[in-house]
C-alpha cells in the first residue's frame, strides 16, 4: 500500500478576499506543496462557524454540540500534518473569523487536557505550524497578542510553532504586492515548514 501524502492545511482568516494575507498564503502553500504534499486552503469567511458558547457540552466526549462547518473542519485540523494560518491584525488580535474557529477548538482542548486523549489524528509524527500576518500600523509590539493566541491554539492541537512571517505597515488591499521580498519570503517559509 502506498504511503499517504503529507497534508498541509492553509487557513485564510481574512474576510477580505484577495487581500494581503491571502496573497501571502498562496505562495506559502505553493512552497509547501512543491515538496509533494497535498494542500488545501479553507477560507473561514466562506463557512458557517459560530463562536463558542461555553455550553460545556463538549466536556464528557470532546464533541462540540454546535452543528455547523466546524464539524468537518475539526477533522481537517486533526488530520493535517502541517498548518499555515494567515490572519491580518484586527484591533491587535486575529480576525473574528479566526478567533471563532480557535475558540471552537475548546472541544479539542477538552479532548487533550480533560479526557487525556490525542487531539490529533495524523500519522506522520510531529505536526508543525506557520503563522502569517499583516497589519497596517508600524508598531514594535503589533503582533504579540496574536502570536500568543496562535501559540496557545497550536499547543492545543499538538502543533509546534515552527515559524512566523509578519509584515507591519501593510494596510491597503494588495499593498503586500509592492513589498520587495514578501511573496518570495512566503514561498520559502512554506518550503522550510515542510523541509524542517
Ligand atoms: C476591523 C479592522 C481592524 C484593524 N485593526 C488593526 C490593528 O489593530 N492594527 C493594525 O496594524 N492594523 C489593523 N487593521 C488593518 C489590517 O490589519 C490591514 O489592512 C491588513 O493588511 C489587512 O489584511 P488583509 O488584506 O489580509 O485582510 C485593521 C483593519 C480592520 C478592517
Model confidence pLDDT, tens digit, residues 104-114? 999 999 999 99
- For each of the domains in the chain, give its residue range(s) and CATH number, in order of start: 16-136+146-195 (3.40.50.360)
119 vs 115: CA distance, rounded Å: 10
Q: If you take atom 14 of ligand 1, which residue's CA is the nearest one?
A: 90
Give the pLDDT score at 54.
98
Mean pLDDT in residue range 13-23: 98
Give the pLDDT score at 2.
46
Lowest mean pLDDT among 2-6, 40-44, 78-82: 2-6
Residue 112 CA, ligand 1 centroid: distance in Å: 33
Q: If you take atom 28 of ligand 1, which residue's CA is the nearest one?
A: 90
Give the pLDDT score at 61.
96
Q: Which three cell numbers, joined as nine digits, stand for 16?
A: 477580505
Give the pLDDT score at 121.
82
> Which pTM does this prediction carry?
0.96
The percentage of the chain sitting over the pLDDT mark of 90, rounded to a whole number, equals 89
Which among 98, 136, 141, 172 is the best mutation to test ligand 1's pocket, defined by most ligand atoms within 8 Å of the CB?
136
Residue 89 CA, ligand 1 centroid: distance in Å: 5
DSSP letter for 177, please: G
Measured at the CA of 168, the angle between CA 163 and CA 173, to 5 degrees, comes to: 105
Q: If you take atom 15 of ligand 1, which residue's CA is the nearest one?
A: 136
Q: What is the position in ligand 1's atom list of the atom closest to the CA of 24?
A: 26
pLDDT at 123 > cutoff 80: no
179 within 8 A of 167, measured Cβ to Cβ: yes
For 92-113, letters b (16+ CB in 10 Å) and e give eebbebbbbbbbbbbbbbbbbe
Give the pLDDT score at 78.
96
Give the pLDDT score at 178.
98
pLDDT classification of 119: cutoffs 50, 70, 90: confident
Residue 149 CA, ligand 1 centroid: distance in Å: 17
List residues near ligand 1 (CB under 6 A). 14, 16, 19-22, 88-92, 134-137, 142, 170-171, 173
Amino acid at each position: 500500500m502506498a504511503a499517504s501524502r503529507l497534508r498541509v492545511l492553509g487557513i485564510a482568516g481574512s474576510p477580505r478576499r484577495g487581500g494581503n494575507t491571502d496573497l501571502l498564503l498562496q505562495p506559502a502553500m505553493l512552497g509547501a506543496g512543491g515538496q509533494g504534499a497535498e494542500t488545501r486552503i479553507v477560507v473561514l469567511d466562506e463557512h458557517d462557524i459560530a463562536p463558542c458558547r461555553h455550553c460545556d457540552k463538549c466536556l464528557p466526549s470532546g464533541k462540540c454540540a454546535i452543528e455547523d462547518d466546524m464539524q468537518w473542519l475539526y477533522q481537517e485540523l486533526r488530520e493535517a500534518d502541517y498548518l499555515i494560518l494567515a490572519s491580518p491584525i484586527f484591533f491587535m488580535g486575529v480576525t473574528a473569523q479566526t478567533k471563532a474557529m480557535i475558540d471552537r477548538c475548546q472541544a479539542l482542548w477538552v479532548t487533550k487536557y480533560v479526557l487525556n486523549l490525542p487531539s490529533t489524528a495524523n500519522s506522520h509524527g510531529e505536526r508543525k505550524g506557520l503563522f502569517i500576518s499583516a497589519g497596517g500600523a508600524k508598531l514594535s509590539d503589533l503582533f504579540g497578542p496574536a502570536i500568543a493566541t496562535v501559540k496557545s491554539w497550536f499547543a492545543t492541537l499538538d502543533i509546534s510553532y515552527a515559524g512566523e512571517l509578519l509584515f507591519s505597515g501593510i494596510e491597503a488591499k494588495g499593498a503586500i504586492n509592492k513589498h520587495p521580498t514578501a511573496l518570495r519570503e512566503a514561498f520559502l517559509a512554506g518550503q522550510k515548514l515542510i523541509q524542517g
